[in-house]
Amino acid sequence: GAVVSQHPSRVICKSGTSVKIECRSLDFQATTMFWYRQFPKQSLMLMATSNEGSKATYEQGVEKDKFLINHASLTLSTLTVTSAHPEDSSFYICSAPKPGLADNEQFFGPGTRLTVL
């Protein structure tokens, strides 16, 4: 299989501050990565598609100025939660499809738990 990592695994921040979450594909290059948010006892909701070399594509209802996505390289995408508020507290998961596989199988990171005080 392939490996996708996320950093940090947990972060606690004060309301009003910004938090950056990294998603890395460790053994393959990913021109596309996906960011999901999962509230407690709920499903994964797609927030945005991160595209290397171009702007991210956001799902309806997701504020692009609040959730800044930068696909800095073929192995790294970052999600920055700007001016975080308690309602942004959630579990954030990224995924990346591995090119060359028959169905572009996606590999998920272990997630980042964000708590905003």
Partner 1 sequence: AQTVTQSQPEMSVQEAETVTLSCTYDTSESDYYLFWYKQPPSRQMILVIRQEAYKQQNATENRFSVNFQKAAKSFSLKISDSQLGDAAMYFCACRGNNNDMRFGAGTRLTVKP
Q: Least distance from C-beta 77 to partner 1, angstroms?
A: 14
Cβ of 44: how many Cβ atoms within 10 Å?
16
List residues bridging with 96 in a β-sheet: 107
The residue among 14 and 43 lying less far from partner 1, judged by its C-beta, is 43
Q: Tokens 């060359």 identify what position?
A: 100
Q: Which residues bind partner 1 (CB under 8 A)?
A: 32, 34, 38, 42-46, 49, 91, 93, 95, 97, 103-106, 108, 110-111
Contacts (Cβ under 8 Å, ≥6 apart) of 51: 31, 32, 57, 71
Q: Least distance from C-beta 23 to partner 1, angstroms?
A: 13
Q: Least distance from C-beta 86 to partner 1, angstroms?
A: 20
H or E segment to which residue 1 belongs:
none
Q: Tokens for 101?
A: 């596989």
The residue among 16 and 99 lying less far from partner 1, judged by its C-beta, is 99
The residue among 10 and 18 lying less far from partner 1, judged by its C-beta, is 10
